[in-house]
Amino acid sequence: EWTMAHFRAEEIAKIRKQVGDKRVICGLSGGVDSSVAAVLIHEAIGDQLTCIYVDHGLMRLNESEQVVTVFRDHYNIPLIHRDASDLFLGKLAGVTDPEKKRKIIGGLFIDVFEEEAAKIGGADFLAQGTLYPDVIESVSFHGGPSVTIKSHHNVGGLPERMNMQLVEPLRELFKDEVRDLGRELGLPEILVGRHPFPGPGLAIRIPGEVTREAADILRQADAVYLDEIRKAGLYDEIWQAFAVLLPVKTVGVMGDSRTYDHVCALRAVTSTDGMTADSYPFDHSFLSACATRIINEVRGVNRVVYDCTSKPPGTIEWE
Ligand code: XMP
């Protein structure tokens, strides 16, 4: 009988055999896949593993602290936390084209990761949280002629540049199985059950120019929205939910004064694999409550709209 406990034991044996006494580095994103991979590999080889977390300043509220706390303090996994927000936001200044933003972020991510890896003397192995669907997709995305809708960035861009052997213990698993394995390894639910989050982070949820101010506003609005979703008990029913900050200002009224502030769009979708998706059918009262709270609590937003587009024709993210 196949169980997660068996899988865990088998993979640990395989990792030990593959790696021997060599060193491994792992890029942590804060997402489920890289987190589970890191904890599993750490269980196998202990401090031969070093994790590198590149913080681009475009994470959600408190996300970086959570990652650092779980890995460094709770699991005692050696972790380099590089705050590169000035670098990323600096290079993104004035850039509005979605693909340019993605390319800049993906490229910088690799530069910073390599720099940090070199500082600790490099390693022979690179660990990644590649899943089975990632393996399939990279063989033939949609099976048709290759059309780039978006240049996806995750830690997966690293191998071609880094000339290292890969350690990919999750290669045979689907997302729900990775979550089970994470639970088996004792990872906190806040990490294991977390909605997917794109590598470029909030940058692709701020159409137009990405500034620190816009990212701060979006972080606040996103946190209020997700707090409402959790309180309503809907978090686990939804594949992914997030706020988008539009580069559009509209007129409003607050007390007896005129306001002129940004529009915030809310998105929530159900999906099984992210390839197709439906917008989540919230009750209208839930959405109005979110709008009220966001406008009251987040300075810089005076109007909230809900995105009811499916994928296709929309994509899940806005850029
Ligand atoms: P789209 O927007 O293409 O997104 O419908 C499908 C799923 O992929 C996530 N996504 C990304 N994940 N790097 C990632 O690791 C990326 O560059 C990226 N872009 C989109 C998106 O959040 C959704 O879950």
Nearest to 134 by CA among 175, 96, 186: 175
**Per-residue pLDDT, 140:** 42
23 C-alpha to center of ligand 1: Å? 30
**Per-residue pLDDT, 135:** 79
**Per-residue pLDDT, 302:** 98
**Per-residue pLDDT, 141:** 43
Diameter over CA atoms, the chain: 70
ipTM: 0.99
**Measured distance between the N- and C-terminal CA atoms of the chain, rounded to whole angstroms:** 44
Ligand 1 binding pocket mutation candidate from 54, 103, 142, 152 (most atoms within 8 A of CB): 152
168 C-alpha to center of ligand 1: Å? 20
CA-proximal residue: ligand 1, atom 14 (nearest): 198
pLDDT tens column, 260-289? 999 999 999 999 888 999 999 999 999 999
Domains, the chain, in order of start with CATH, read: 4-192 (3.40.50.620), 211-306 (3.30.300.10)
pLDDT tens column, 93-146? 999 999 999 999 999 999 999 999 999 999 999 999 999 887 776 654 444 445
Q: Which atom of ligand 1 is nearest to the CA of 318?
A: 2
Q: Which atom of ligand 1 is nearest to the CA of 271?
A: 24
> Which residue intervals of the chain are DSSP H helices?
4-19, 32-45, 63-68, 85-92, 98-119, 132-139, 158-162, 175-184, 189-192, 212-231, 284-297
Q: Does 30 belong to an annotated binding site?
A: yes
CA-proximal residue: ligand 1, atom 20 (nearest): 198
Average pLDDT of the chain is 92
Nearest to 242 by CA among 227, 257, 261: 227
Residue 105: exposure state from Cβ atoms within 10 A (0-12, 13-18, ≥19): buried
Q: Does 31 belong to an annotated binding site?
A: yes
Nearest to 113 by CA among 207, 28, 240, 11: 28
| Three-state secondary structure call for residue 316 | coil
Q: Does 257 belong to an annotated binding site?
A: no
Q: Which atom of ligand 1 is nearest to the CA of 311?
A: 5
Residues with CB under 6 A from ligand 1: 150, 152-154, 196, 198-200, 240, 274, 311, 315-317
Q: pTM here?
A: 0.91
| Three-state secondary structure call for residue 6 | helix
**Per-residue pLDDT, 146:** 55
**Per-residue pLDDT, 153:** 67
Nearest to 56 by CA among 94, 87, 99: 87
110 C-alpha to center of ligand 1: Å? 18
Q: For the chain, which residues score pLDDT lower than 70?
A: 137-147, 153-160
CA torsion, points 299, 215, 85, 103, in degrees to nearest 10? -170
**Per-residue pLDDT, 5:** 96
Q: Does 283 belong to an annotated binding site?
A: no
Nearest to 26 by CA among 16, 14, 12, 40: 40
In one-letter notation, the amino acid at residue 203 is A
Q: Does 288 belong to an annotated binding site?
A: no
